[in-house]
């Protein structure tokens, strides 16, 4: 029973990871007015999507951009930068809800510099622009753009997209986050081939951060707790001996190997990001590496069950194990706050941890029942009459 519960936990975890990736794609999105576009792209950051059709005969670009504000009441933006690849100099379409009516409205912003973001007509024609609020809470921008002649001749445009937390008085946009996803939300849109490319250096850094996050979430955040659950609960079943021990060792050694790889990528990222320091996350990561390394030696220093030092070894092994378990989960959540991935990943991990906690409570109750029942059997013997001190007591009939 315990084994099946742990197996179901793994299937649940992978289902949670896979299902959002399948369902949340541009090809599955529909529009209330049934608009149809020739191309759609899952943009590489900020859970954003672009649908577009380009008509070269009249250099007209029809777009539908979908994203979700970083906070309720926030804004989303899609922009073209005629001369550069970043935000400065871009011509932006921005959508946010009217504070009075709650209706999503498109506004145009000329972002001439990082310090000058003002509502203004764009440098190119936008014959049509509308917005809508979607059922999942995201916002959509619909626009028809007259592509400038020099950009139409190139066949590519520089696109920038962004999401923000809110809108101040006078329609002033509140600053967006400066996480990796926000800083790399830009690229080149190929109008003729319907493709998008992004800055390779930014992509490489983001990929390294994603690898670092995945390795550490799987090792410290899932495999180590799973190994602890096996040691505490599966060993209570006599039929699982010694299989529980080998499963426990396999989980912990695998977690350590993956965790060291994740720790190494973290050190590499830190060396490549001068001036950017996440002290709490870093110190906990170092502590985890030290504790886990010492814990691995427990496998080679384990006294026999009847050895007088076994009691103290158990205290050391359990104390270090639970410290790793708690610090590992804490640091995974710190990593989520730093990396700021799509919300589905943090939600999936939270569901896994809650499921593991629920299974642990259930197995704790089952374990106590098994242990108490076993002790009861050992301490209680059938009464046969001959063990009673009173000689006149007759044996029980069998």
281 labeled binding residue: yes
Long-range contact list for 197-204, CB < 8 A, 24+ apart? Answer: 198/44, 199/85, 203/44
Provide the sign of the torsion angle of the four alpha carbons 328, 331, 337, 339, taken in this order: negative
> Which burial class, exposed, middle or buried, applies to 126 when counting CB atoms under 10 A from its CB (0-12, 13-18, 19+)?
middle
Q: Of 169, 152, 160, 136, nearest to 69 (Cα)? A: 136
248 labeled binding residue: yes
343 labeled binding residue: no
176 labeled binding residue: no
Residues annotated within the binding site are: 212, 248, 281, 317
Residues annotated within the binding site for heme b are: 212, 248, 281, 317
């Amino acid at each position: 029973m315990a084994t099946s519960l742990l197996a179901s936990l793994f299937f649940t975890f992978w289902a949670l990871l896979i299902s959002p990736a399948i369902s949340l794609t541009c090809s599955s999105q529909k529009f209330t007015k049934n608009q149809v576009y020739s191309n759609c792209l899952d943009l590489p950051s900020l859970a954003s999507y672009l649908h577009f059709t380009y008509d070269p005969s009249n250099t007209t670009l029809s777009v539908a951009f979908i994203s979700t504000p970083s906070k309720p009441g926030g804004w989303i933006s899609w922009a073209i930068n005629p001369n550069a690849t970043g935000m400065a100099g871009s011509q932006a379409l921005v959508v946010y809800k009217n504070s009075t009516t709650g209706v999503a409205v498109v506004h145009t912003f000329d972002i001439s510099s990082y310090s000058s973001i003002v509502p203004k007509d764009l440098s190119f024609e936008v014959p049509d622009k509308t917005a809508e609020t979607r059922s999942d809470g995201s916002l959509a921008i619909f626009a028809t753009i007259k592509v400038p002649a020099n950009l139409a001749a190139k066949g590519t445009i520089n696109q920038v997209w962004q999401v923000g937390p809110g809108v101040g008085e006078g329609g002033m946009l509140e600053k967006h986050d400066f996480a990796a996803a926000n800083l790399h939300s830009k690229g080149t849109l190929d109008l003729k081939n319907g493709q998008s490319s992004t800055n390779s250096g930014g992509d490489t850094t983001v990929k390294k951060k994603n690898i670092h996050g995945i390795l550490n979430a799987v090792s410290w955040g899932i495999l180590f707790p799973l190994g602890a659950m096996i040691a505490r609960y599966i060993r209570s079943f006599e039929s699982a001996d010694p299989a529980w021990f080998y499963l426990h060792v396999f989980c912990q050694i695998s977690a350590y190997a993956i965790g060291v790889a994740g720790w190494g990528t973290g050190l590499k990222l830190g060396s490549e990001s001068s001036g950017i320091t996440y002290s709490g996350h870093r110190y906990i990561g170092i502590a985890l590496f030290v504790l886990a390394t010492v814990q691995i030696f427990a496998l080679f220093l384990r006294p026999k069950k009847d050895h007088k030092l076994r009691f103290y070894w158990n205290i050391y092994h359990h104390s270090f194990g639970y410290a790793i378990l708690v610090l590992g989960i804490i640091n995974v959540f710190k990593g989520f706050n730093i990396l700021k991935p799509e919300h589905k990943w943090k939600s999936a991990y939270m569901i896994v941890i809650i499921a593991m906690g629920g299974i642990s409570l259930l197995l704790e109750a089952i374990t106590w029942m098994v242990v108490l029942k076993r002790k009861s059997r050992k301490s209680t013997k059938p009464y046969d009459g001959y063990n009673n001190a009173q000689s006149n007591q007759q044996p029980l009939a069998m």
